[in-house]
Amino acid sequence: MNSQSTEHPKPRVLIVFASWHGHAREVAEKMGEVALANGADAEIRDASETRGDEKSITTYDGVVVVGSVHFAVHSRPLRRFVRRGLQHLSRVRSAFVSISGAAAALDGQKQAERYIQRFLHATGWKPDMVFSCAGAVRFTAYDPITRAAMKFASRIAGRGTDVSRDYVYTNWPAVHAFTHDFLDMLERSKAIAGSTVALA
């Protein structure tokens, strides 16, 4: 038997996302890929399909919640998941990844932070780590009304307005770095827990 694998089992990570038009799912999947590549056991779930599963949160070493902002709010399924799982989330290491268009610009950082604080205040959650992530404008996935609204918002923000294509502003290296930081935190937590058990 490999004693190293017994003493230091793979960290188990749950990544829960809620996506309006698919980008939050893409970010969650990318984080899952990074976690798997670095020896973690990662599972990805859609927040809208996790009702009643909140207790399973405590079977993981860490939970990452990923959600995008759409017209100034995070999705209802994401809020519902966090509120219902709040007691369980407090027992594991956790992180919140908030995806917004505001985060794509230096002058939008304060607004992106307000979106995050509004979500955390509404849910009562206090994650160990928070990441404000620039999102994407998926013109090809929008309905006509949303497409027109997003074209206007993009023009005001000085971003691309060609509705025949999509614009991705996500800093993927930053997503990778944040995932690594979260995994490092899990490893430190497991090492400390192991040392405490050994000394008991």
Q: Mind listing the pLDDT tens digit for each residue in 53-101? A: 777 899 999 999 999 998 889 999 999 999 999 999 999 999 999 999 8
User: Does 198 have pLDDT greater than 60?
Assistant: no
The string of pLDDT tens digits covering residues 6-59 is 455 789 999 999 988 889 999 999 999 999 999 999 999 999 888 767 778 999
Between CA 122 and CA 141 the distance in angstroms is 29
Show me where the domains of the chain are located.
Answer: 10-135+172-189, 138-169
Domain 10-135+172-189: give its CATH architecture.
Answer: 3-Layer(aba) Sandwich (3.40)
Between CA 132 and CA 175 the distance in angstroms is 10
